[in-house]
Chain A
Amino acid sequence: AQSVTQLDSQVPVFEEAPVELRCNYSSSVSVYLFWYVQYPNQGLQLLLKYLSGSTLVKGINGFEAEFNKSQTSFHLRKPSVHISDTAEYFCAVSPAYSGAGSYQLTFGKGTKLSVIP
């Protein structure tokens, strides 16, 4: 089984400042990792994903994340945030194999990013 911990439930940051949203996971098998963003009253939109290869993954809207296997982390970063980045961000993990249970996507509880003008 997998679990995901998003260490901060809320992160306020000033506009044009950098931001890091933290995500740690636990799993006994290799994993795929995802970040999703949810704007108010909308569904989840995929920001980026790590499947294999380079540990630095670039996504949409200027976000990037780095997979650190030794620290079991997948932190999300953006060098300069905009007002429009205000949303809730979810980290998720799934087993990296196609056997039984591979359909399971386990989510963290989310981090609400508030960008202050």
Chain B
Amino acid sequence: SQTIHQWPATLVQPVGSPLSLECTVEGTSNPNLYWYRQAAGRGLQLLFYSVGIGQISSEVPQNLSASRPQDRQFILSSKKLLLSDSGFYLCAWSARAGTTDTQYFGPGTRLTVL
């Protein structure tokens, strides 16, 4: 069966510091991968998605970037965090083949920027 991991689970960072969140998927090959941010009262916002190694699509202009160095690894980064980057970050995967786009989510990373 497929498993998705995220780390760290919780992170407290000062404004202006760098960020690196990691997501890995096990038990599947060539997945589509996604990064979402969930801010209080605002639902889920899609930040990035990737259909393959080195292929990243950005959904909103922001202070963040994403990379996919390996097939089942997805990294969310920032060079300098802003207060507004605080939130709950969720990684998700879906199977690339087939006709459905069911997305399966990881446990999330709670980021607090102070």
Contact = CB atoms under 8 A, between A and B. Distances in A.
B108 A43 contact: yes
B64 interface: no
Nearest to B44: A107
14 contacts: A32-B100, A32-B101, A42-B107, A43-B6, A43-B105, A43-B106, A44-B44, A46-B104, A51-B100, A103-B49, A104-B46, A105-B101, A107-B43, A109-B43
A108 B42 CA distance: 9
Nearest to B36: A107
A88 B42 CA distance: 13
Interface in B1-41: 6, 32, 34, 41
A36 to B, nearest CB: 8
Max count, chain A CB within 10 A of own CB: residue among B43, B51, B92: B43
Given A42-B108, A103-B32, A90 B102 contact: no
Contacts of B107: 42-43
A84 interface: no
- In this complex, the member of A43, A49, A107 whose beta carbon has the largest number of chain B beta carbons within 10 angstroms is A43
Contacts of A74: none
Interface of B is mostly: strand
Contacts of B42: 109
A43 B105 CA distance: 6
A45 interface: yes
A34 interface: yes
Interface string B65-78: 00000000000000
Given A90-B44, A108-B43, A41 B110 contact: yes
A103 B105 contact: no
Interface in A73-108: 90, 94, 98, 102-105, 107-108
Contact of A34 (B41, B99, B102): B102
